[in-house]
C-alpha cells in the first residue's frame, strides 16, 4: 500500500490519476480505516488530504453562504456558533453520525463519498442545495451534491477526481430545515429511514421546499413531488398527507437486517411529515 | 470448639450487607487490570482462525502450501493436529473448535495459522485455499424438525426421542404432575398460544482472548479470559491429548461473560499452534468471529396452554418447548420446560422439550439458559388471560404463587422460598400504582431459576501482620472478590480492607467448577466462610496452647481469641495480630482450607414491573420505567446485587426489543457486528429501580442465594406484556422490533 500526504488538491488528483488498483482518499478515516481493518476494502493507494491548507476551515462567504473544508469534522460543525443557526437540519444530520469520538474525526465529504444511501449527513446537504468543487486532472468543476452518489458504495466521480470544497448556499430569510432518521435505538445506529426537509415561508405559506429521503433506495432521493405537495400550502393536513404519499411513492427500498420494504416505506411518510413540521416551525423563527 | 456461632442462622452482621469500594476498581479504571488480550510473552506469535463462509458444506480440500511459504508464518493447524479417539462432549467441543470433514455453520473454524506479526498472519490467511462443496442447510428451529430438513448429524438421538421424529431432534424431556386434561375441563377460560424467540448473544464487550505456550513435551501454560479455568484445563488437555496436570491455566480479568465464557473455543487452537511452532501464541477473536462462532442462546419455538377459573386460579398448564443449540446436541430445552411453570403452585402441569440441531453455532449458556424464553411464553399467556378476565395480573400471580412446601412443577418440594415476598413488594411498590398516559402500557412478570452449588475449593492464608489472603478458583464475573472479602471479614473479625481475594491458577488450588449457575457467592462464599472458620480454629488452638487451656475453652469474637468463660481461666483476649506475629514459632503458618460440593443453593424468584410507550406510527418502543424485585436470600454487597438485577433487566430489554441473530437465505449471519446486533445503549434506558427481598437460604451459613441469573428471566415477558398493552396488540415473537410491531398493528387494523 502506498500512502501519500499531498499539499494541494491538484497534487492529490494527479496522485489518484496515476495510481493503479484501488485508491481511497483519507480525511477522517471513519469509513476508510474501518473497511481496511475489516478486510472489506484494502486500498493500494491511500491519499491523506487533510494536510492540505484550508481543509479544516469553516468560512462565511460575502453572500451569507458557507464554504467548508473537506476535513471539517462533525464536532467542528456542531460547535460552530453560527452554522447551525442557519442550517440546523444539515448540522443535526451530521451530528447524528456515530459517537463523540467519531464526531471528532468524521467529515461531511467523507460521508458523501462513502456512497451509503443511509448516510445521515447527505439528505441535509441535498435539501440545502449544497454544491461541491471537484478537482480532477482537467481542473475544477462544481457539482450539486445529489449528483455525487451512484449507488451503494459508489460515486459518479471519475478516476483522479477528488472533492476539494463544500459550498452551502446562503440561508436567507424565513428558511428552515430539519433532518430526522428512524433507528430502533436512540443513538449509535444506522438510519433505517432518513428524511430531510428544507423550506421557506412567506407568512404561513411555503414558497420553496426540498425533500430528500435516505435509506429507501440505492442512493439518497430528492423527491420533487414531495416538494410540490408542500409549496403553496400552510402545512395543513391535506398537504402533509400529500407529502407523505409522495415520500412513500419515491421509496424503492430493500428487505434487509435493518428493516422491511413495508416498514421503510411507511416510516418514510411519517418522518417526512414530522421533519416538515419542524422545518416549518424553524422557518417561522422557532428554535 | 465450644461455641460455633456460624452454624446457627445469623441475623446481625458487621461487614456483610455493607457497601465498601470494590477491590478491582482502581485496577480497572487505570488500565492496570490485565484482560485476556493484555498478556504478552517474548517471542510471541499472533494467530488467525479461518472460518467457513458457508452454513453447511463438505470440506473437500485445504491447501496450505502458499500460506506456509508466506513471510513470518510459523505454524498452521487443521483438525489433524488435535487428538483423535475422543467421545462425548469432548468430541463435540473439538468438532466445534476445529471442523472435521464438514463445516456445520457460517463461521465454523476450519484452519488456523500463527505468524510473527498480526499483519503477516492476516495476509497469510488469505493464501490458504479451501475448497468447499455446499450442501443444504437449515437455521430455523421449526424448519429443522420438519420433514425433509437436511440432517445435521445422523444418529445423534440419545434414545429419549419419541419414534417418528426427524433425526435433527436429538433429545426429549417430559415432566410434570397431575392430569392436565382434567384441569383444563375445570377452567372457565383456556388459552393456547404459540411463541417464538430468536437467538441472542451474551454481548460481552471483551472478545475471547488467550496466550498459550505448549512445548513439544506436552507441558504448557495458558492465560485466558474464561469463567472457569479448571474446565479449560481439562478440555484443552483432552483435545491436545496431554495430561490435565501438564497444563497450567490462569484466568485473566474478565470483561463480561454472562455464561458465554463457560465454553472453550480458541484456547486449544492457540496451544496446538504453539506446540507446533514451539513459541507462545496469542489468539484474540475479532468481534465478528465472536458473534459467528461463539455460543449464542438457542432460538425457541413454544406452545403454551393454560386453564384458569374466573377468580384467577390456574387449573392446568401445559407447555411445549422446541430449542436449537446449533449443530450440536445441547439446547437447554429441559431448563425451559422445568422453569416455565415453576413460579406457580399447580395441581396439573405438563411440560415437554425438544432439542433440535440446525446449522447455527454451538449454543452456550446465557444467564439462566432456557428460562427467559419460557417465561416470555407463559407470562404472556397469563397476562392475556388476566386482560380477558379483568383480573389484576400481580394478584393472580400471588394467588397461584409457589410457597415453601409447594410441589414444584419440575418435581421436588420447595424449601424456604421468597416468591410471595417479591410479589407483595411489587404490589406495594409506588411504581405499580403510578398512572399511565395514553399510548403507554404496563407489564409484569415473574421468573424462576434453580441456582447451583458445584465443586469448590478455597484457601485462606494469614499473614504475619494479621491480614489475610483468599485464593478462590471462581473467576470474578460479578463482584465476588468483594463478597468473599466481606464474608471472610465477618468470620475473622478484621477489616474488609485487610483481606485480598485473588483468583488462583489451576496449579495453586483444587478443582473449581466454572463460575456459572449463580453459584459463586453461594458456593465459593460458603467455602470462604468455612476456610476462614478453619483458620479461626487454628488461631484458637494457638491461644489455647499459650494459655495452657483446652482449645474447646477458646472462642473467637471480633478478631480476638477469648476464653469461653470463668471456668476456662482469666486471660486477656488475644488479637489476631498477636497470634499471627508469632505463628512461625508457635506451630507454623496458619491457613484455612475448605473443599466440597455444596448442594444447598437456594432457588430464586423475581418479579418485574415495566412501563413502555409505543409510537403507533413507527413501532418504536421506549422503556419508561423499570422495577426489579428479587429475593437475594442475603445481599452480601448490596451494590453488586443491585448491579446484577439491573444488568439482567438491561440484557432482557435488548433481547425483548432489538437483539437477534439474523440469518440470510444462504444461512450466513447478517449482523455479526455491534452496529447491527443492537444491544441497548445507555440513552435507551431509564434508571432501573431495584428492591432486594431477603428470605434466607437455609443452605448457606449467611442465607445467601445466587442472584446472577434470575434477573434475566422475567424481563422478556414483562417487556412484551408492557409493549402489547401499550400497542393494543399481543406480540408473540421476540424481538418485538419496530418492523414487527408496525406489521402487527397493520394486521390488527386490517382485521
**H or E element in which residue B132 lies:** strand B129-134
Three-state DSSP class for residue A262: helix
- Residue A122, C-beta contacts closer than 8 angstroms, at least 6 positions apart: A93, A111, A112, A145, A149, A212, A214, A220
Nearest CB neighbour to B671, from listed A182, A185, A257? A257
pLDDT tens digits along A126-158: 999 999 999 999 999 999 999 999 999 999 999
Three-state DSSP class for residue A125: helix
Residues of A in contact with B746 (CB under 8 A): 262
Considering Cα of B397, then B403, then B407, then B413, what sign does the dihedral take? positive
User: Contact A209/A138 with Cβ under 8 angstroms?
Assistant: no
Under an 8 A CB cutoff, do A257 and B658 touch?
Answer: no
Q: How many angstroms separate the most distant Cα atoms in chain A?
A: 58
Domain B370-451+602-749 has CATH 3.40.718.10: no
Nearest CB neighbour to A187, from listed B658, B662, B681? B681
**pLDDT range class, residue B10, cuts 50, 70, 90:** low
Q: Select the CATH number that applies to the domain covering B25-33+453-596 from these four: 3.40.50.150, 3.40.50.2000, 2.60.120.10, 3.30.365.10.
A: 3.30.365.10
pTM of the predicted structure, to 2 decimals? 0.96
Put simply, whether A258 touches B (Cβ < 8 Å) is: yes
Q: What residues of chain A, 35 to 74, have a C-beta less than 8 Å from chain B?
A: 38-39
For B557, counting Cβ atoms within 10 Å of its Cβ (0-12 exposed, 13-18 middle, 19+ buried), the class is exposed
Residue B480's nearest CA partner among B530, B524, B513 is B524
* Cα separation, A212 vs A235, whole angstroms: 17
Residue B248's nearest CA partner among B227, B266, B282, B271 is B271
Considering Cα of B663, then B664, then B666, then B670, what sign does the dihedral take? negative
* Cα separation, B209 vs B204, whole angstroms: 12
* Cα separation, A138 vs A157, whole angstroms: 13
Put simply, whether A138 touches B (Cβ < 8 Å) is: no
Residues of A in contact with B681 (CB under 8 A): 185-188
Under an 8 A CB cutoff, do B675 and A189 touch?
Answer: yes
- Best of B622, B662, B677, B739 to substitute, by most chain A Cβ atoms within 10 angstroms, is B739
The low-confidence residues of chain A, meaning pLDDT below 70, are 287
Under an 8 A CB cutoff, do A187 and B675 touch?
Answer: no
* Cα separation, A127 vs A211, whole angstroms: 6
Nearest CB neighbour to B738, from listed A39, A184, A190? A184
* Cα separation, B524 vs A226, whole angstroms: 66
Under an 8 A CB cutoff, do B742 and A39 touch?
Answer: no
In this chain, the answer to whether the domains covering A2-116+131-168 and A175-283 adopt an identical fold is: no
pLDDT over 70 for what percent of chain B?
Answer: 99
Three-state DSSP class for residue B723: helix
Could you give the dihedral angle defined by the CA atoms of residues B404, B406, B412 and B416, in that order, rounded to the nearest 10 degrees? 0
Q: Which residue of A has its CA nearest to B737?
A: A184
* Cα separation, B591 vs B32, whole angstroms: 29
Collect all residues from B whose CB is shorter than 8 A from any CB in A: 122, 288, 617-620, 657-658, 662, 670-671, 675-676, 678, 680-681, 683-684, 737-739, 742-743, 746
Q: What would be the CATH architecture of the domain defined by A175-283?
A: 2-Layer Sandwich (3.30)
Distance from CA of B639 to the nearest CA of A (A): 27
ipTM: 0.95
- Residue span(s) of chain B under CATH 3.30.365.10 come to 25-33+453-596, 370-451+602-749
The fold of A2-116+131-168 is: 3.30.465
pLDDT tens digits along A159-179: 999 999 999 999 999 999 999
Under an 8 A CB cutoff, do A267 and B618 touch?
Answer: yes
User: Contact A34/A43 with Cβ under 8 angstroms?
Assistant: no
- Best of B612, B618, B737 to substitute, by most chain A Cβ atoms within 10 angstroms, is B618
Q: Which three cell numbers stand for residue A16?
A: 489518484
**pLDDT range class, residue B8, cuts 50, 70, 90:** very low
Residues of B in contact with A257 (CB under 8 A): 662, 670-671, 676
pLDDT tens digits along B29-87: 999 999 999 999 999 999 999 999 999 999 999 999 999 999 999 999 999 999 999 99
Three-state DSSP class for residue B445: strand
Residue B329's nearest CA partner among B304, B298, B303 is B298
User: Contact A49/A70 with Cβ under 8 angstroms?
Assistant: yes
φ/ψ of A206, rounded to 5, equals -80, 125
Domain ranges of chain A: 2-116+131-168, 175-283
Put simply, whether A225 touches B (Cβ < 8 Å) is: no
Under an 8 A CB cutoff, do A263 and B684 touch?
Answer: no
DSSP state of A218: S
User: Measured at the alpha carbon of residue B460, what is the angle toward residues B454 and B466, in degrees to the nearest 5?
Assistant: 155
* Cα separation, A221 vs A211, whole angstroms: 8
Put simply, whether A186 touches B (Cβ < 8 Å) is: yes
Residues of B in contact with A259 (CB under 8 A): 738-739
pLDDT tens digits along B291-326: 999 999 999 999 999 999 999 999 999 999 999 999
User: Measured at the alpha carbon of residue A140, what is the angle toward residues A134 and A142, in degrees to the nearest 5?
Assistant: 55
Q: How would DSSP label each residue in B588-654?
A: S--EEEEEE----PPPEEEEEEEEEEE-TTT--EEEEEEEEEEE-SS-SSHHHHHHHHHHHHHHHHH
| Predicted local confidence at residue B2, as pLDDT | 35
- How much of chain B is helix, strand and coil, in % rounded to 5? 30, 25, 45
Residue B4 pLDDT greater than 80, yes or no: no
pLDDT tens digits along B466-518: 999 999 999 999 999 999 999 999 999 999 999 999 999 999 999 999 999 99
Three-state DSSP class for residue B395: helix
- Residue A62, C-beta contacts closer than 8 angstroms, at least 6 positions apart: none
CA separation, residue B89 to residues B241, B243, B495 (Å): 15, 18, 45
* Cα separation, B94 vs B96, whole angstroms: 5
Residue B646 pLDDT greater than 50, yes or no: yes
Residues of B in contact with A260 (CB under 8 A): 739, 743
Q: Which residue of A has its CA nearest to B679?
A: A185
Amino acid at each position: 500500500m502506498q500512502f501519500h500526504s499531498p499539499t494541494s488538491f491538484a497534487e492529490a488528483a494527479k496522485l489518484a490519476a496515476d495510481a493503479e488498483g484501488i485508491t481511497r482518499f483519507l480525511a477522517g478515516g471513519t469509513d476508510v480505516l474501518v473497511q481496511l481493518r475489516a478486510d472489506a476494502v484494502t486500498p493500494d493507494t491511500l491519499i491523506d488530504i487533510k494536510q492540505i491548507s484550508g481543509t479544516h476551515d469553516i468560512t462565511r462567504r460575502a453572500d451569507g453562504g458557507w464554504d467548508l473544508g473537506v476535513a471539517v469534522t462533525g464536532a467542528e460543525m456542531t460547535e460552530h456558533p453560527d452554522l447551525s443557526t442557519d442550517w440546523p437540519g444539515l448540522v443535526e444530520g451530521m451530528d447524528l453520525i456515530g459517537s463523540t469520538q467519531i464526531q471528532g474525526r468524521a467529515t461531511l465529504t467523507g460521508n458523501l463519498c462513502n456512497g451509503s444511501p443511509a448516510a445521515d449527513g447527505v439528505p441535509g446537504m441535498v435539501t440545502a442545495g449544497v454544491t461541491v468543487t471537484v478537482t480532477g486532472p482537467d481542473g475544477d468543476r462544481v457539482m450539486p451534491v445529489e449528483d455525487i452518489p451512484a449507488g451503494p458504495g459508489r460515486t459518479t466521480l471519475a478516476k483522479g477526481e477528488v472533492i476539494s470544497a463544500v459550498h452551502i448556499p446562503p440561508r436567507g430569510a424565513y428558511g428552515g430545515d430539519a433532518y430526522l432518521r428512524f433507528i430502533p435505538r436512540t443513538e449509535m445506529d444506522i438510519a433505517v429511514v432518513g428524511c430531510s426537509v428544507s423550506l421557506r415561508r412567506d407568512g404561513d405559506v411555503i414558497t420553496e421546499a426540498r425533500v430528500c429521503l435516505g435509506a429507501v433506495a440505492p442512493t439518497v432521493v430528492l423527491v420533487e413531488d414531495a416538494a410540490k405537495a408542500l409549496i403553496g400550502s400552510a402545512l395543513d393536513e391535506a398537504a402533509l398527507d400529500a407529502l407523505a404519499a409522495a415520500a412513500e411513492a419515491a421509496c424503492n427500498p430493500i428487505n434487509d437486517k435493518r428493516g422491511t420494504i413495508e416498514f421503510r416505506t411507511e416510516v418514510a411518510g411519517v418522518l417526512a411529515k414530522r421533519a416538515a413540521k419542524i422545518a416549518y416551525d424553524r422557518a417561522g423563527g422557532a428554535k | 470448639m465450644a461455641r460455633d456461632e456460624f452454624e446457627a442462622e445469623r441475623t446481625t452482621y458487621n461487614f456483610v450487607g455493607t457497601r465498601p469500594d470494590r477491590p478491582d476498581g482502581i485496577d480497572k479504571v487505570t488500565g492496570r487490570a490485565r484482560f485476556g488480550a493484555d498478556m504478552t510473552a517474548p517471542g510471541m506469535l499472533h494467530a488467525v482462525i479461518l472460518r467457513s463462509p458457508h452454513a453447511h458444506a463438505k470440506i473437500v480440500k485445504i491447501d496450505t502450501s502458499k500460506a506456509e511459504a508466506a513471510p513470518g508464518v510459523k505454524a498452521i493447524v487443521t483438525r489433524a493436529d488435535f487428538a483423535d479417539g475422543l467421545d462425548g462432549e469432548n468430541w463435540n467441543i473439538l468438532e466445534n473448535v476445529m471442523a472435521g470433514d464438514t463445516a456445520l455453520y457460517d463461521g465454523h473454524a476450519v484452519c488456523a495459522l500463527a505468524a510473527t506479526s498480526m499483519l503477516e498472519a492476516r495476509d497469510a490467511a488469505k493464501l490458504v485455499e479451501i475448497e468447499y462443496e455446499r450442501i443444504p442447510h437449515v437455521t430455523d428451529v421449526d424448519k429443522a424438525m420438519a420433514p425433509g430438513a437436511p440432517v445435521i448429524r445422523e444418529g445423534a438421538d440419545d434414545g429419549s426421542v419419541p419414534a417418528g421424529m426427524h433425526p435433527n431432534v436429538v433429545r426429549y424431556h417430559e415432566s410434570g404432575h397431575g392430569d392436565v386434561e382434567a384441569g383444563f375441563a375445570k377452567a372457565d377460560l383456556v388459552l393456547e398460544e404459540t411463541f417464538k424467540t430468536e437467538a441472542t448473544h451474551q454481548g460481552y464487550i471483551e472478545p475471547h482472548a488467550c496466550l498459550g505456550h505448549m512445548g513439544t513435551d506436552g507441558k504448557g501454560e495458558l492465560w485466558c479470559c474464561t469463567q472457569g479455568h479448571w474446565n479449560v484445563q481439562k478440555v484443552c488437555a483432552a483435545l491436545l491429548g496431554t495430561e490435565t496436570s501438564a497444563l497450567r491455566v490462569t484466568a485473566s480479568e474478565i470483561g463480561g461473560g454472562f455464561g458465554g465464557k463457560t465454553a472453550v473455543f480458541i484456547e486449544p487452537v492457540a496451544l496446538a499452534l504453539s506446540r507446533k511452532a514451539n513459541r507462545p501464541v496469542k489468539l484474540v477473536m475479532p468481534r465478528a468471529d465472536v458473534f459467528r462462532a461463539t455460543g449464542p442462546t438457542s432460538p425457541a419455538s413454544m406452545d403454551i396452554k393454560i386453564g384458569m377459573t374466573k377468580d384467577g386460579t390456574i387449573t392446568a398448564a401445559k407447555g411445549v418447548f422446541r430449542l436449537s443449540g446449533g449443530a450440536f446436541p445441547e439446547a437447554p430445552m429441559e431448563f425451559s420446560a422445568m422453569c416455565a411453570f415453576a413460579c406457580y403452585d399447580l395441581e396439573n402441569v405438563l411440560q415437554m422439550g425438544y432439542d433440535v440441531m440446525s446449522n447455527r453455532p454451538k449454543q452456550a449458556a446465557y444467564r439462566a439458559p432456557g428460562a427467559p424464553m419460557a417465561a416470555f411464553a407463559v407470562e404472556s399467556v397469563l397476562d392475556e388471560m388476566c386482560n380477558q378476565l379483568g383480573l389484576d395480573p400481580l394478584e393472580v400471580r400471588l394467588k397461584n404463587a409457589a410457597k415453601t412446601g409447594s410441589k414444584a412443577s419440575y418435581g421436588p418440594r420447595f424449601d424456604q422460598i421468597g416468591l410471595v415476598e417479591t410479589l407483595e413488594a411489587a404490589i406495594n411498590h409506588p411504581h405499580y400504582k403510578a398512572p399511565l398516559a395514553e399510548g403507554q402500557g404496563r407489564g409484569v412478570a415473574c421468573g424462576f431459576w434453580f441456582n447451583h452449588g458445584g465443586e469448590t475449593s478455597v484457601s485462606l492464608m494469614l499473614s504475619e501482620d494479621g491480614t489475610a489472603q483468599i485464593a478462590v478458583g471462581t473467576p470474578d464475573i460479578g463482584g465476588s472478590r468483594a463478597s468473599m472479602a466481606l464474608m471472610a471479614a465477618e468470620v475473622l473479625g478484621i477489616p474488609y480492607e485487610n483481606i485480598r481475594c485473588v483468583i488462583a491458577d489451576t496449579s495453586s488450588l483444587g478443582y473449581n467448577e466454572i463460575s456459572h449457575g449463580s453459584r459463586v457467592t453461594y458456593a465459593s462464599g460458603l467455602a470462604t466462610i468455612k476456610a476462614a472458620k478453619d483458620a479461626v480454629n487454628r488461631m484458637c488452638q494457638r491461644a489455647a496452647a499459650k494459655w495452657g487451656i483446652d482449645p474447646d475453652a477458646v472462642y473467637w469474637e471480633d478478631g480476638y481469641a477469648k476464653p469461653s468463660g470463668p471456668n476456662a481461666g482469666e486471660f486477656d483476649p488475644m488479637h489476631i495480630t498477636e497470634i499471627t506475629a508469632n505463628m512461625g514459632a508457635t506451630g507454623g503458618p496458619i491457613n484455612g482450607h475448605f473443599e466440597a460440593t455444596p448442594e444447598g443453593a437456594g432457588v430464586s424468584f423475581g418479579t418485574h414491573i415495566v412501563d413502555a410507550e409505543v409510537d403507533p406510527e413507527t413501532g418504536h418502543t421506549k422503556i419508561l420505567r423499570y422495577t426489579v424485585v428479587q429475593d437475594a436470600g442475603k445481599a452480601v454487597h448490596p451494590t453488586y446485587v443491585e448491579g446484577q438485577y439491573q444488568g439482567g433487566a438491561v440484557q432482557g430489554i435488548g433481547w425483548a426489543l432489538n437483539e437477534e441473530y439474523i440469518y440470510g437465505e444462504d444461512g450466513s449471519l447478517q449482523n455479526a457486528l455491534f452496529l447491527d446486533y443492537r444491544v441497548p445503549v445507555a440513552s435507551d434506558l431509564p434508571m432501573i429501580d431495584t428492591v432486594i427481598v431477603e428470605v434466607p437460604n437455609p443452605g448457606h451459613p449467611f442465607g445467601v442465594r445466587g442472584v446472577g441469573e434470575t434477573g434475566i428471566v422475567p424481563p422478556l415477558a414483562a417487556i412484551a406484556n408492557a409493549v402489547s398493552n401499550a400497542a393494543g396488540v399481543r406480540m408473540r415473537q421476540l424481538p418485538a422490533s419496530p418492523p414487527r410491531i408496525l406489521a402487527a398493528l397493520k394486521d390488527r387494523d386490517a382485521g
